[in-house]
């Protein structure tokens, strides 16, 4: 299966992607995780991405499209994959469609999580507090100020993807305000349909 998880920062894309990995045996492709790994390793992509990510803005389309184009070529992605955080702009979605068409592949589902802004900020603040309490590194973009920029980027650049996939008859929405297990159940029902 090839699945896209859409939604604002903190909506639960990563949480649900991990559960889908366990159930479906296909990899989670998180551009956020891949970019954070590149930043930590100090690669040329990481050096370019770091300041942009710390500000809560989007990394350029050509960088992330290049990352995904390489990643879906890897052996573990042949059976399918769960995209978490990609695409994030209409240009990325169009580039991804062209990639799939070139390989004769199709998307199976686009699932969008709907969560209100107050809840999103609360989740991000809680995640930062919990990471700190465990003595782990807190994401530089997990604070209310940077979160505002992340949300603005979501509204201006990512939200148009709902209409993009709706027009293709692909979009399914899930109430992401519900408890994690209930969201998982709703996702499973969509994929079993």
Q: Which residue ranges make up the annotated binding site?
A: 10-15, 31, 36, 57-59, 85-88, 92, 127, 139, 150, 178
> Could you give the CA distance from residue 11 to residue 176 in angstroms, rounded to a whole number?
6
Active site (annotated) includes residue 172: no
Number of helices (H), then strands (E), belonging to the chain: the values are 9, 5
Active site (annotated) includes residue 139: yes
Coil, helix or strand at residue 81: strand
C-alpha 192 chain-centroid distance? 22
- The strand pair at 2-6 and 81-84 is best described as parallel
Active site (annotated) includes residue 134: no
**Per rule CB under 6 A, is residue 39 in the interface with ligand AP5?**
no
Cβ nearer to ligand AP5, comparing 45 with 64:
64
**Per rule CB under 6 A, is residue 164 in the interface with ligand AP5?**
no
DSSP state of 106: -
As to burial, measured by CB atoms within 10 angstroms (0-12 exposed, 13-18 middle, 19+ buried), residue 141 is buried
Q: Which stretch binds ligand AP5 (CB under 6 A): 7-15, 20-28, 40-48, 163-171?
A: 7-15
Sequence-ordered list of residues with C-beta below 8 angstroms from that of 37, at least 6 positions apart, any chain: 46
From the CB of 80, what's the least distance to ligand AP5, in Å? 19
The beta strands (E) that lie in the chain are given as 2-6, 28-30, 81-84, 109-114, 171-175
Active site (annotated) includes residue 23: no
β-sheet bridge partners, residue 172: 111
**Per rule CB under 6 A, is residue 35 in the interface with ligand AP5?**
yes
From the CB of 157, what's the least distance to ligand AP5, in Å? 8
| Residue list for the binding site for ATP | 10-15, 127, 178
Q: Determine which one of 2, 19, 88, 123 is catalytic.
A: 88
Residues with a catalytic annotation lie at: 13, 88, 127, 139, 150
Q: Which residues bind ligand AP5 (CB under 6 A)?
A: 7, 9-15, 31-32, 35, 52-53, 56-59, 64, 85-86, 88, 92, 123, 127, 141, 150, 176, 179-180, 183
């Amino acid at each position: 299966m090839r699945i896209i998880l859409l939604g604002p920062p903190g909506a639960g894309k990563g949480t649900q992607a991990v559960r889908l990995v366990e159930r479906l045996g296909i990899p989670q492709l998180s551009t956020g995780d891949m970019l954070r790994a590149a930043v930590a390793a100090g690669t040329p992509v990481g050096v370019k991405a770091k300041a942009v990510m710390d500000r809560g803005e989007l990394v350029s389309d050509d960088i992330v499209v290049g990352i995904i184009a390489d990643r879906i070529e890897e052996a573990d992605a042949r059976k399918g994959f769960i995209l978490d955080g990609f695409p994030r702009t209409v240009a990325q979605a169009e580039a991804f469609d062209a990639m799939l068409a070139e390989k004769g592949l199709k998307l199976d589902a686009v699932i969008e999580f709907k969560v209100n802004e107050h809840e999103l900020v609360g989740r991000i603040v809680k995640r930062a507090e919990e990471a700190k309490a465990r003595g782990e590194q807190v994401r530089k973009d997990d604070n209310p100020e940077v979160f505002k920029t992340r949300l603005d980027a979501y509204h201006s650049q990512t939200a148009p993807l709902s209409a993009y996939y709706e027009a293709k008859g692909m979009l399914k929405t899930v109430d992401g305000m519900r408890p994690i297990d209930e969201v998982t159940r709703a996702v499973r029902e969509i994929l079993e349909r």
